[in-house]
Chains A and B, each alone.
Chain A
Amino acid sequence: MHGERGICRPSQERLQERSSPMYELKFDPLLCEQCESIDCVMKCQYIDMTLEKARDERLKLARGEHSTILEECVTCYACEEYCPYNNHPFYQIVELQEKLGVHPTPKPIEESQVRMMAPRGRIESEELTEPLIDLCFFPMLRGSIRGRLFEGASVIQGSDVFCNLMFLHFARNSVIKERLPLIIDNIMSYYLTRNNIEELICFHDECYGTYTKWAPAFGIEVPFKPVHLFEYFRRRLTELRSEIKPLDISIAYQRNCSTRLIPEIEDVLNDVFDLIGARRVKRRYDYENALCCGGPMEAQQRFDLAEENQNKNVNDMKEAGVTHCVFNCPFCFFTLMEKVSKAGIMPIMISDLCHQALGE
């Protein structure tokens, strides 16, 4: 309740005082040195360099030195997908940004987000049934968990189960390292163990990416079994097959950044689209070539870049003649929904599309 000295300027000591857990990134600089294609930079949609320059800059990063890449990176996670050696080029960029004091977003925005999303210690044990859905820290999505699609489901959500992966956009990997072990412990001890549940269905695929890809890259163990929302949909929709009325629509899919960590999920997603009768049209900015929604760019104050990017994406959807743009990520949804609607395309979350196919 009280104000404090230095109210108008955050305490520098407090910002720097952080416990540093000993989780190290499984990154091998030798792999970068041997790499001939430098796919991480050459395939990047936002950085334009010759192969020679790309190699120079990549090697600087591999040696832990500063490169302009650190400032130019829009944090779209794509290079995690591009690297043929799974050498985690993006995670390495983020670690280096933090180490060298590069702030992708303005410091007040960065710091306030760190505070806003911190675990509040309000978690309480509950009786839960399967399927158990992890809604992460998106309370506004609670209404999506309804109907036959989620029959009998229980939900967990809140700051105390929040995966924190978003801090990759803010060059605060240390925050994830610091919080994730507590989050995992919270999930296990308050929810999974006492209810004898092993499977946790991740509504937002960023959580799934955290537990299946980011955590192992830093040597953090995940004792439960994360299930991707799309896997759950595929399972459930197959069960309810006879009740599905195919939608018969052409859609564009907005492939969010965390899909870059788990590209193998595309097959499952396409099965889901098949089941509900949604045709994922061929368009330029999909799959590996997908565009970031522009949200992180706006946070980085690069408004022209964000707009240019969003226009390219939406025009591409328009030209493909789709009626709907399907989202999995609420952040992409909020960022793009206005532009998409103005283009005459209906923005919709994938869970709502599945509800529609079931006539709900």
Chain B
Amino acid sequence: MSSVRERLAQIVGKSYFSDAPEERFIYSRDPGLQKPHAPDFVVMPGSVEEVQEILRLANAEKIPVVPMGGGLVLSGLTIPLRGGIVLDMKRMNRMLEVNETSRYAVVEGGASQGMLKAYLEKHHPALKHSLPDAPPIATIAGNVAIHGSGHLSQSEGGFHSEMVTGLEVVLPTGEVVKLGSCSTVPGWFSRAPLPDLVGLFLGWNGTTGIITKIGVKLFPKPRLEDVLVFMTEDIETIPDIITRVTATELAEDLTLSIAPKPDWLRGFQLTIINVVANSESEMKFRKRVIIGTLSEGAYFHNKEAGFLPLPPNMKSTFMDAPQKILSSFADVMKGGGFEYVGSIMPVEKLPEACLAGVDIAERNDVAYSLGARVIGRGHCIMFFNAYPFNRADPDNMTRAARALEDTNEVALRIGGIPWKAEYSAQQQILKQMDPNTYRLMERIKKVLDPNGIMNPGNWEVEAYGI
């Protein structure tokens, strides 16, 4: 391996190469509960050419390669299951282009959510992008590649993967390919009308190539923001609430929070409705219509639901993007950790998912929080079961891990699909998947990655005889 070592150090420069125990320790883990697997090398490329050279080398030597953005997936997708080279992409973090009229931005593959937000605030204050609730160092490419979602998903067209206008990728065999309009004309404004190859790199857990540039849609940024919080006591009312609010087409983010803690929330649900507007009268109008539609529900008449009066400081936590308070969930067990299963499911499955979620947590004797984000105009939801754990309590960690496994199983049974699924959940998904679908995935992976070097272990059926 020493020649590989020397060549890698040559490609990225000695200061951006490491096989020291310290890097191998940290990069074998993410903040979630998945078991550690050590890389052989960690490198941080600074250019597309360096990425190409690394991949060519890896192919020649048949060494696994795992691309990594923020490393905040929590389900271990950046942990090298079979060792090899971890590519920490975050040095490639520049903002490349912003087109104000056609509203898109092009950034490098390691550019972070936070830095794009800051960049737009400073240079293009009339525009914003959809932010996930992940910590701000999470990368745009990484989030998009796992079909992330965020605060504009309800109002502006769904998952973040649906907001991609183009990609530049390096294939496992080292070629650089442009996808979308940028392949043919200057400008990263659209994937249509060309054959949509972008999808070959979204949701694949890095098994088909490495994203080095990404075009994302930008949206108008209204001046004013406010939030309405609708409190209910009956989970069965939630689908109707979602239907009503999405039908107004006047809300921005639409999320649910269902938690046993703090104590005053136990047994109740909060529907959090963010509203943005360009003027006071517009804001008033939007809120009035939203309040109006929910006041028509029987639950409202019967005093079984209502809008929570919010003092200003409470409001601002609901309007943060990204929401810092969600990261602090990691300290609930005073233990520095949480992991969640996010399942993409139809809206009407929410009550069942919620009841099942409580059951799983009780069975496994773990703390938990449940919630959902509405994607598109009520097209589906991302329902999450989050379990905080104490890093210093192995027994608690085991129970939380079991709760996560149960959740994956239950999600599939109910009719949802775990998002950014960890290795074992991928196996469950593949088991349930139509074999022809899986076979097509396999064929594509074979074409793009003939030597099977890209994040091996992912989307690989173990033992079902395919």
Chain A interface residues toward B at CB < 8 A: 1-11, 103, 105-109, 111-113, 115-116, 140, 295, 298-299, 301, 303, 334-335, 337-338
The stretch of B21-29, B131-139, B305-313 in contact with A is: B305-313
A295 touches B309 (CB 8 A): yes
B362 touches A334 (CB 8 A): no
B233 touches A108 (CB 8 A): yes
Measured CB to CB, the closest approach of chain B to A120, in angstroms, equals: 10
Question: Is residue B265 contacting chain A, with contact meaning CB distance below 8 A?
Answer: yes
A-B contact pairs, 8 of them (CB 8 A): A2-B260, A2-B362, A5-B362, A8-B258, A9-B233, A9-B235, A108-B268, A303-B307
A115 touches B304 (CB 8 A): no
Closest to A115 in B: B264
State the total of A-B contacts with C-beta under 8 angstroms.
96
Question: Is residue B358 contacting chain A, with contact meaning CB distance below 8 A?
Answer: yes
User: Chain B's interface: helix, strand, loop or mixed, by majority?
Assistant: mixed
Closest to B367 in A: A1
A115 touches B367 (CB 8 A): no
B312 touches A7 (CB 8 A): no
Question: Is residue B267 contacting chain A, with contact meaning CB distance below 8 A?
Answer: yes
Also in contact, A4 and B260, with CB within 8 A (given A10-B267, A106-B306): yes
B312 touches A338 (CB 8 A): yes
Also in contact, A115 and B263, with CB within 8 A (given A301-B306, A334-B311): yes
A2 touches B312 (CB 8 A): no
B367 touches A108 (CB 8 A): no
Question: Is residue B121 contacting chain A, with contact meaning CB distance below 8 A?
Answer: no
Question: Is residue B355 contacting chain A, with contact meaning CB distance below 8 A?
Answer: yes
Docked complex: B271-312 residues within 8 A CB-CB of A: 291, 295, 300, 303-309, 311-312
Measured CB to CB, the closest approach of chain B to A311, in angstroms, equals: 12
B358 touches A3 (CB 8 A): yes
Distance A7 CA – B303 CA, assembled complex (angstroms): 19
Closest to A10 in B: B267
A3 touches B361 (CB 8 A): yes
Top 7 nearest A-B pairs (CB, nearest first) are A106-B306, A8-B235, A116-B264, A10-B267, A112-B264, A115-B264, A334-B311
Chain B interface residues toward A at CB < 8 A: 231-235, 258, 260-269, 291, 295, 300, 303-309, 311-313, 351, 354-355, 358, 361-362, 365, 367-368
Also in contact, A108 and B306, with CB within 8 A (given A1-B367, A8-B269): yes
Distance A317 CA – B190 CA, assembled complex (angstroms): 55
A105 touches B312 (CB 8 A): no
Measured CB to CB, the closest approach of chain A to B244, in angstroms, equals: 16
B304 touches A106 (CB 8 A): yes
Closest to A307 in B: B284
Distance A303 CA – B309 CA, assembled complex (angstroms): 11
For B264, the chain A residues whose CB sits under 8 A away are: 112-113, 115-116
A7 touches B306 (CB 8 A): no
B365 touches A106 (CB 8 A): no
Measured CB to CB, the closest approach of chain B to A174, in angstroms, equals: 18
Measured CB to CB, the closest approach of chain A to B287, in angstroms, equals: 9
A108 touches B312 (CB 8 A): no
For A6, the chain B residues whose CB sits under 8 A away are: 267
Select one of B268, B309, B351, B361 contacting A2, CB under 8 A: B361
Measured CB to CB, the closest approach of chain B to A74, in angstroms, equals: 14
B295 touches A301 (CB 8 A): yes
Closest to B261 in A: A1
A105 touches B306 (CB 8 A): yes
Measured CB to CB, the closest approach of chain B to A118, in angstroms, equals: 8
Distance A108 CA – B235 CA, assembled complex (angstroms): 12
